[in-house]
Amino acid sequence: MADEKHYRIDYLLHGSYKTFYIRAVNMDNQEAWHWATVDAGFGAIPKYRSDRAPKLSKPQAEKLGLSDVEWKQA
């Protein structure tokens, strides 16, 4: 856990600005979109760390009203 970093993720949900912080080993656009869908209530997280969680694609998330996902190290 020593190599985990804090990230800030900002996004729009139906035109409303949302922001949250998450701790992760690494972050990229795909991971940021995934965690934004989780924060918005659309995405799923696994019950156990070893389980795989289905991730929504960017087009799927945009159809649900999610847009403008941005992230940076906090």
What does the pLDDT profile of the chain (74 residues) look like in tens digits? Answer: 579 999 999 999 999 999 999 999 999 999 999 999 999 999 998 888 889 888 999 999 999 999 999 999 99
Instruction: Look up tokens 């856990």; give the residue.
Output: 1
Residue 29, SS3 per DSSP: helix
Do residues 26 and 2 lie in contact, with contact meaning Cβ atoms separated by under 8 Å?
A: no
Domain boundaries, the chain: 5-73
Instruction: Report the Cα 24 to chain-centroid distance in Å.
Output: 11
